[in-house]
Amino acid sequence: MKPTRRALLVSSAAALSFGPAFVRAAGPEFSYKFGVDLPGTHPTITWMNKAAERIKAETNGRMEIQVFANSVLGSSTDMISQVRSGALEFHAQSGPGLSQLVPSTGLNSMGFAFKSEEEIWPAMDGALGAHIRSQIAKTNLVPFDAMWGHGFRHITRSTGPIVSPADMNNIKVRVPPGLIFVSLFKALGASPTTINFNELYSALQTKVVDAQENPLALILTGKLYEVQKYVSLTGHMWAGYWFLANRRSWEALPVSIRDIVSRIVNESAKGQRAELAREESAYSQELVAKGLVINRVDKGPFREKLSEAGYYREWKAKFGDEAWTLLEKFAGRLA
């Protein structure tokens, strides 16, 4: 029996009433992935998970960001390729790691350039950061305004502390991919070996390398205290993480959603920075409780050795006068 005209009208009205609910129940309109090589317990992941929840709520479920930590989507090198191609929509990458693609992202990581985060953030939120973002934007990547904190990097070693530049002679030290790392440790007399973070623990455990360098938060959350004994607070380099979007994926989002994502990610970056700064001493105490021996380092002799080796002159020539002038505006004279 054919349905009556009234029945058809009622059926159509019901479909219109409940249609949007069915669309929302089917899932978000935009589902993007965020990948990073940091451990799942790192503060960056904590804050990024919170940001993803806020974005989903403030877009009324239209935008979902799935957070993948622990190099689940591949090494940092792999993920740079993925975000460039669009296989990955969002990625966080350290400046030195990104410097293989955009050389100027290594500017803020010059060895022993910055003394404290009080010098860092005015630079990265100001003219130096703007200059670097303009260079990143020349690729198919979109850098967000606020850089995420990572911290000053320190050297850990299994066989003894680093006290003076002489202690660096010929030690096998793991460094992340990036010429800027290799250049620094060669100038200090060490033997740097490039290894991605997802392979670092096993490299230390099997003695492929004797030492490595990372911020305290990552030494703790990456459980490197299980395969290292000494932490020398060299603070030899500062690095933060750039939050990056694939340009095509980013521009596919409605402007209203882009505005929400930008605002929340940038706010979360500043919240994460503050947490890292607050917890720095706590990280030290916890590492000591885990059995590590911590020693402070006089940075002056290290900086002098770099100057004598021509390290600063070399990098000034590579970056160019304009970029180097911006660096020295915030860090002081280097070369």
Bridging pattern class, strands 148-157 and 230-246: antiparallel
User: What single string gives the DSSP state of each residue in 167-224?
Assistant: GGTT-EEEE-SSHHHHHHHHHTT-EEEE--GGGHHHHHHTTS-SEEEE-HHHHHHTTG
Confidence of residue 3 (pLDDT cuts 50, 70, 90): very low
Secondary structure (H, E, C), 83-94:
HHHCCCCEEEEE
Q: What is the dihedral of CA 71, 80, 35, 181, to 10 degrees?
A: 60
Token pair belonging to 161: 């502390």
Q: What one-letter code names the amino acid at 298? A: D
C-alpha–C-alpha distance, residues 264 and 49, integer Å: 11
pLDDT of 293 over the 50 cut: yes
User: How confident is the model at residue 258, as a pLDDT?
Assistant: 98
Q: Is 38 exposed, middle or buried (0-12, 13-18, 19+ CB in 10 A)?
A: buried
Backbone φ/ψ region at 39: left (φ over 0), alpha (ψ -120 to 50), beta: beta
Q: What is the dihedral of CA 200, 208, 182, 91, to 10 degrees?
A: -20
Residue 19 lies in a domain: no
User: How confident is the model at residue 60, as a pLDDT?
Assistant: 98
Cα 47 from chain centroid (whole Å): 13
C-alpha–C-alpha distance, residues 316 and 111, integer Å: 12
Query: Mean of the pLDDT values across residues 224-231?
Result: 97
C-alpha–C-alpha distance, residues 234 and 231, integer Å: 9
pLDDT cut 90: percent of the chain above it: 89
CATH code assigned at 130: 3.40.190.170
Q: What one-letter code names the amino acid at 199? A: E
Q: What is the pTM of this model?
A: 0.88
pLDDT in tens, 169-194: 999 999 999 899 999 999 999 999 99
Q: What one-letter code names the amino acid at 54? A: R
Dihedral pair phi/psi, residue 150, rounded to 5°: -135, -40
Residue 192 lies in a domain: yes
The domain containing residue 173 runs over which residues? 29-331
C-alpha–C-alpha distance, residues 252 and 58, integer Å: 18
User: How confident is the model at residue 335, as a pLDDT?
Assistant: 77
pLDDT of 322 over the 80 cut: yes
- Which residue, among 148, 145, 134, has the nearest Cα to 259 in the 3D structure? 145
pLDDT in tens, 19-72: 444 344 578 999 999 999 999 999 999 999 999 999 999 999 999 999 999 999
Residue 143 lies in a domain: yes
Query: Mean of the pLDDT values across residues 290-304?
Result: 96
pLDDT cut 70: percent of the chain above it: 92
User: What total number of domains does the chain contain?
Assistant: 1
User: How confident is the model at residue 4, as a pLDDT?
Assistant: 44
Mean pLDDT of the chain: 92
User: How confident is the model at residue 25, as a pLDDT?
Assistant: 52
Beta-carbon contacts of residue 101 (< 8 Å; ≥ 6 apart): 80, 84, 139
Helix/strand number for the chain, H first, E second: 14, 10
Place of tokens 């965020």: 34
Query: Mean of the pLDDT values across residues 151-163?
Result: 97
pLDDT of 80 over the 60 cut: yes
Residue 264 lies in a domain: yes
pLDDT in tens, 124-145: 999 999 999 999 999 989 999 9
Q: What one-letter code names the amino acid at 30? A: F
Residue 1 lies in a domain: no
User: How confident is the model at residue 2, as a pLDDT?
Assistant: 46
Q: Are 261 and 194 in contact (CB under 8 A)?
A: no
Give the sign of the dihedral formed by CA 197, CA 201, CA 206, CA 211.
positive
Q: Are 152 and 238 in contact (CB under 8 A)?
A: yes
pLDDT in tens, 81-110: 999 999 999 999 999 889 989 999 999 999
Residue 267 lies in a domain: yes
Residue 17 lies in a domain: no
Confidence of residue 197 (pLDDT cuts 50, 70, 90): very high
Residue 11 lies in a domain: no
Confidence of residue 14 (pLDDT cuts 50, 70, 90): very low
User: How confident is the model at residue 1, as a pLDDT?
Assistant: 41
> Half-sphere exposure of residue 193, counting CA atoms within 13 Å on the CB side?
17
